[in-house]
């Protein structure tokens, strides 16, 4: 079907999103086309505001200012740090309402091939926080995949000289699963039953 250029451009933009193919993108654009002016305006304003968001200077989660809401919260437990791969993992764990410590977003995982991508991860920032911020425990909440396990072992070795408690979320998560897709009960179980890495 031949669409106007605006439709084609929007379909291309939506198709570029994760898990959105051309057919789904087409449906989204047609749905938006049928919406009233007020809803479209609100949607456009929300998209426009996205460029005001940035990474928290402390933990690298999503923030509106220098610090994210979690780092700025004085009620958080400041001696425990939960290390995750991406901001979506922070959101998933926060949904459980059980973890009250701070986070560190690594920005990815070690690759299991020959490529050494450790320089792309926020490992030095993690070590700096542990050394200077009074951290007593780091919870390694990487996904239960080959890359997640490899990253957890790598970080355990990096943290060993600092003489702090290093734990790993329990295997309530299925091997090969993603934290962001786990249900709240599974995440609560994984955090509660975490084990110290030896």
Q: Whats the size of the chain, residue-wise?
A: 198
The superfamily in CATH containing domain 5-52 is RecR Domain 1 (1.10.8.420)
pTM metric for this prediction? 0.75
Do the domains 72-196 and 5-52 match in fold? no
Residue 152's pLDDT is: 92
CATH, range 72-196 = 3.40.1360.10
Q: What is the β-pairing status of strands 137-140 and 165-168? A: parallel
Tens digits of pLDDT across the chain (198 residues): 577 888 889 999 999 998 899 899 999 999 999 999 999 999 988 888 888 899 999 999 999 999 999 999 999 999 999 999 999 999 999 998 999 999 999 999 988 766 667 778 999 999 999 999 999 999 999 988 888 989 999 999 999 999 999 999 876 656 666 777 777 767 777 777 777 776
Domains in the chain: boundaries: 5-52, 72-196
Dihedral sign for Cα atoms in the order 18, 23, 27, 33 = positive
Sheet containing 165-168: which strands, arranged edge to edge? 102-105, 80-84, 137-140, 165-168, 195-196
Distance, in Å, from the CA atom of 10 to the CA atom of 49, rounded to the nearest integer, reads: 18
Query: Which residue, 61, 65, 62, is CA-closest to 82?
Result: 61
């Amino acid at each position: 079907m031949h669409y106007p250029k605006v439709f084609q451009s929007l379909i291309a933009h939506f198709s570029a999103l994760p898990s959105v193919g051309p057919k789904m993108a087409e449906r989204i654009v047609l749905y938006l086309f049928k919406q009233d002016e007020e809803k479209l305006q609100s949607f456009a304003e929300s998209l426009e505001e996205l460029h005001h968001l940035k990474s928290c200077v402390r933990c690298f989660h999503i923030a509106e200012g220098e610090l994210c809401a979690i780092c700025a919260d004085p009620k958080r437990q400041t001696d425990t740090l939960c290390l995750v791969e991406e901001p979506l993992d922070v959101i998933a764990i926060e949904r459980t309402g059980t973890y009250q410590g701070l986070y560190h977003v690594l920005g990815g995982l070690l690759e299991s091939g020959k490529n050494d991508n450790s320089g792309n991860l926020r490992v030095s920032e993690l070590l700096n926080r542990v050394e200077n911020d009074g951290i007593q425990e780091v919870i390694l909440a990487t996904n239960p995949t080959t890359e997640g396990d490899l990253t957890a072992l790598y970080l355990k070795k990096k943290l060993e000289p600092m003489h702090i408690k290093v734990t790993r979320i329990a295997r309530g998560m299925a091997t090969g699963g993603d934290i962001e897709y786990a249900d709240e009960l599974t995440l609560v179980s994984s955090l509660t039953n975490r084990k110290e890495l030896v």
